[in-house]
Amino acid sequence: MSQANADVVIRAEKISMIYPGTIALNEVDYRVYRGKVNVIIGENGAGKSTLMKILAGVQQPSKGTIYLNDEAVSFQHTRDAAAKGIGMVHQELNLFGNLTVAENIFLGREKQHGLMPLDTAEQHRVTAELMARLDQDIAPSELLSNLKVGQQQLIEIAKALADEADVLILDEPTSALSKTEVELLFKVIRDLTAQGVSIIYISHRLEELMAIGDHITILRDGHFQSEAEVKDIDVPWIVREMLGSDPVSNFLKPGREFGKPVLDVKNIKLINEMGLTLVDDVSMDVKSGEIVGVYGLMGAGRTELMECLLGLQEYSGEVEIAGHKVPAKMDTSDRIRYGICLVPEDRKKNGIFPISSVSNNMTISSLWRRLKHRFSIDDKAEAEAVTSAIGDLSIKVSSPDIEIRALSGGNQQKVVIGRTLLTSPKVLLLDEPTRGIDIGAKGDVFEMMVKLSEQGIGVLFSTSDLKEIMAVSDRILVMSGGKLTANIARSEATESALVSASAQGL
Amino acid sequence: MKTSQNTASQQSSVFSGESLLLLALKMRTFIALFLILAFFTFMVPGFLAASSVVIMVKHIAINAFLALGITFVIITAGIDLSIGAILGFCGMVAGWLITKGIVLPMFGIAIFPSVWLVVPIVLVIGGLIGAINGILITRYNVAPFICTLGTMYIVRGASMLLSGGETFTGLSGNEQLGNTGFELIGSAKLLGLPYAIWMMFILAGVIAYIAKRTQFGRHVFAIGDNEHSAELSGVKVRSVKVWVYTISGFCAAIAGIVVSSQLVASHPATGVSFEMNAIAAVVLGGTSLAGGRGTIMGTLIGAFVIGILADGLVMMGVSEFWQMVIKGVVIILAVIIDQKQSRLQHKAAIVQQK
């Protein structure tokens, strides 16, 4: 286990991180191998982000030592870590759209001396070299906002490389990327490892880990769980190590029956201010008790379609909710009363009310259902509704009065789902409901969707994960470039058909 | 998340120490009020005599009307700088209606409405100015700070124009015109307390009820916490915001009526910079300028702290210049403590959750 072998770049011994009241990491031993892709995986809260933050100098461990090339080091700041060649690319891009590529890369360490002007030529030269190293045809003077998300991700990597990073930590680098962009990223990663750079790769997507990883480390509940060569293991093994049991991959019972359409959409079209067609003539329906999955890449128009249905965008076309024609001008609150509800994609930005209590977060959409004399809030009914929702969704919370931001991501998501359920929806829209939550919580979310469909609710959810869409949809819609490119029953769907439909017209 | 037994005992000891501090921080406006009261009682003989307390609370009431009205605005993460000007303008409108009446030149007459009509008219005008603020902010996307800065100048200018800068005097009305009684709002007493004080407590009660027990109140907090989420949750963000500024204008109108009634005169420059005292009271009461957090009780206590501080310093004979400095220091201290509290509260919530 603990041979100090030359292939190890970073060796962390007995790292503990203690927060007031909780232990995020408990005597974790961790090794990073040189020139390899070191995958680290674990459920949310297993401690992988904390460990990475310690390696990158964002945080200091309470106990333990880090050895870099067999030399004990301690990082007080990210700059210390960067100076020793450890760079981190965070999940959220930290880039500036109105600066050029070169300016972004050199932000905060501009090539400039004394009162001399910026040495733009030198910056551009280094940037061009980095782009060549990443095999990208991007001009150093290009404005960052003109790049695609995938390219922006590479600029983040270039930023780390500009610091002569020897070890590169990538935190969920693919969460915003399309399939082709992921392949491009993988190619870059392989080139970098060939150049001797060690990569630490964090992701929730197991297939990706199997595809790109060399070495895997699994954390569970703040402890080191196990370590293996990727070539020796398979996905079920990873999941077992992470969770301790085999996951369920098909959530639907056979012989499911559906009722009348609860959502009927004809010729929805959405054109934005810049004249781009975001949703192009989409017609579809969702029947009572049916789960319809919308598959598509980033920017395929899934989110925009849901926003139209909820009345957040000015669209043209016909929408019928539970048999009621809905005028295009009708606002969100009235639509919610008709029985449609959305669990938004970006929980932090559009989902939660961070400093409000769990209880207030849950009831905000359905206050009108529990009024005394149609005016004042019925506290008792509210408390009952909240308690039963917390029970139904098995939300882990010590008290409904606690601020929601104190909860873990999965539990926050459940609260947002609870909010929509308290409105008694007929149609439930879920936009990427599993984004950024761990496998255990994903299973909970899927099981809940199935349970709701069995109660007669029509469920429409979107995802860019093929496995997910196959696991819980009765019918699968595929969107590409705003158009609906496929509408297939799951029994007839194949992964390859879905992938090709998602790439139509691109 | 699983934590072992011994961390559980660790966390409870950490928790109790910090929870005491947190409790003290939460109660800080009360504590500040108590300390200030104790200080002045000790320093100023007769500070707590009934007559001086009543006068002090009468002063406080004016600021409290404004502060209560603006609390909702601040909870939605907005600001209303025009309330001082609305206060002045509403006083001027009341003065105009009582001394000059509604002039109808085509008939060559002037109608003098009774006080029972003057008061509602003025309240509606205050509310309407607030509503205009709200509409400008929501419909045309003007930042609240700029929008209400603009209306502040417009409204202040309008009140100057009403009288050409002169003061309307003799608001007690005329027996023959049947519009007497306006001065009673400011001078009459019920059970030994002036009307203004009763009105302050009633208004605080009503606003607190709206905040706690109605859909509207919840929506106000939701908008301040996360406007995007509020929109997606079916909160009518625009209409709630318009109402919030309407309430602010309405409350400023109440203050305007009370001030001009107490003085039995209305001067167009009344209320200059009153909005700053109101904002200070709200912030002192623990409402966050970033929105989403705040209590009505806090605002009321905040108004008391500011009012007692101001009058107490006067009674101690501290110079006006030093009063300003001290008030500023207190406000900044309040905000620093507020930051500390919100951080501790977050930490405590996480500990409780684990």
Contact B94, B252 (CB under 8 A): no
Q: What mean pLDDT is reported for chain B?
A: 87
Provide the pLDDT confidence category of residue A44 given band limits of 50, 70 and 90: low
Of residues A248 and A23, the one with the higher pLDDT is A23
Per-window interface: B 12-41 vs A, CB < 8 A: 14-15, 18
Residue B4's pLDDT is what? 41
- Give the pLDDT mean for B315-331: 87
Residues B17, B18, B22, B25, Cα dihedral to 10°: 80
Listed in sequence order, the residues at least 6 apart from A182 whose beta carbon sits closer than 8 Å to its beta carbon are A150, A174, A208
Q: Which two tokens stand for residue A278?
A: 């975001």
* Nearest residue in chain A measured CA to CA from B212: A377
Residue A506's pLDDT is: 52
Q: Do A21 and B10 touch (CB under 8 A)?
A: yes
For the cut 90, the answer to whether the pLDDT of residue B134 exceeds it is yes
Average pLDDT of the segment spanning B218-230: 93
pLDDT for A185-206, tens place per residue?
888 899 889 888 899 998 767 7
- The pLDDT of B311-338, averaged and rounded, is 86
Confidence bin at B237 (pLDDT 50/70/90)? very high
Q: In this complex, do B354 and A312 lie within 8 Å of one another by their Cβ atoms?
A: no
d(CA A26, CA B59): 59
3-class state of residue A82 by DSSP: helix
Using pLDDT thresholds of 50, 70 and 90, give the confidence band for residue A43: low
Share of chain B above pLDDT 70, in %: 94
Q: Do the beta carbons of residue A358 and residue A385 sit within 8 Å?
A: no
Given this model, what pLDDT does residue B11 score?
A: 45
Question: Does pLDDT of B9 surpass 50?
Answer: no
More confident residue, B339 or A359: A359
Taking an 8 Å cut-off on Cβ atoms, the answer to whether A21 and B214 are in contact is no
Among A321-335, B4-18, B101-115, B324-338, the range scoring the smallest mean pLDDT is B4-18
**Distance between CA B137 and CA B121 in Å, rounded?**
24
Among the partner-chain residues B222, B350, B353, the one whose CB lies closest to the CB of A364 is B222
Q: Is the pLDDT of residue A325 over 80?
A: yes
A353 with B225: Cβ contact below 8 A: yes
pLDDT tens, position by position, B206-223: 999 999 999 999 999 999
pLDDT of residue B126: 96
Tokens for A268? 């929805």
pTM to 2 decimal places: 0.76
- The whole-angstrom distance between A365's CA and the closest CA on chain B is 5
- Which of A1-5, B14-18, B30-34 is predicted with the least confidence, judged by mean pLDDT? A1-5
Nearest to A410 by CA among A450, A457, A443, A366: A443
In this prediction, residue A74 carries a pLDDT of 87
The chain B residue lying nearest A395, using CA atoms, is B353
pLDDT value at B296 more than 70? yes
**Mean pLDDT confidence for B266-282:** 91
pLDDT at A316 over 80: yes
As a whole number, mean pLDDT of residues A450-471 equals 86
Choice between B316 and B129, residue whose per-residue pLDDT is larger: B129
Q: Which residues of B touch A423 (CB under 8 A)?
A: 234
Q: What is the pLDDT of residue B303?
A: 94
pLDDT in tens, A393-441: 888 888 888 888 888 778 888 899 999 999 889 999 998 888 767 667 7
Q: With b meaning 16 or more CB within 10 Å and e meaning fewer, what string describes A251-262?
A: bbeeeeebeebb
Residues A89-110 pLDDT 10s? 887 778 898 999 999 988 888 8
* Amino acid A23: pLDDT: 76
A244 — pLDDT class (breaks 50, 70, 90): low
Q: What is the mean pLDDT of residues B179-199?
A: 84
Of B236, B292, B353, the CB nearest to A406: B353
Span B265-294, mean pLDDT?
Answer: 89
pLDDT digits (tens, 9 = 90+) for A126-142: 999 888 888 888 889 88
What's the pLDDT band for B74 if we cut at 50, 70, 90?
very high
Q: Identity (one letter) of the amino acid at A275? A: G
- Smallest CA–CA distance, residue A417 to chain B, in Å, is 11
- Interchain proximity A371–B10, CB inside 8 Å: no
Q: With pLDDT > 70 as the criterion, what percentage of chain A qualifies? A: 92
pLDDT of B174 above 90: no
Instruction: Choose from A13-17, A40-44, A253-257 the range with maximum mean pLDDT.
Output: A13-17
Least CB-CB distance to A332: which of B218, B234, B353?
B234
Per-residue pLDDT tens digits for A166-184: 899 988 887 667 777 788 8
pLDDT of residue B120: 94
Distance (Å) from the alpha carbon of A251 to chain B's nearest alpha carbon: 25
pLDDT at A247: 47
Handedness of CA A154, A155, A161, A167 (dihedral sign): negative
Q: What is d(CA A84, CA A2) in angstroms, rounded to the nearest whole number?
A: 23
ipTM over 0.85: no
The closest of A316, A331, A338, A336 to A265, measured between CA atoms, is A316
State the pLDDT at residue A240.
74
Which chain A residues in 308-367 lie under 8 Å from chain B, judged by CB atoms? 310, 312, 331-333, 335-337, 342, 344, 349-356, 360, 363-365, 367
pLDDT at B350: 74
Q: Searching chain A, which residue's CA lies closest to the CA of residue B236? A: A333
Q: Give the per-residue pLDDT at B2.
A: 40
Is B244:B72 a contact under the CB 8 Å cutoff? yes
The residue count for chain A = 506
Q: Could you tell me the two tokens for A2?
A: 């603990």
- Nearest Cα residue in chain A from B291: A355
Q: Per-residue pLDDT for A300 more than 50?
A: yes
- Nearest alpha-carbon partner for A37 in A175, A215, A179: A215
3-state secondary structure B162-200: HHCCCCEECCCCCHHHCCCCCCHHHHCEECCEEHHHHHH
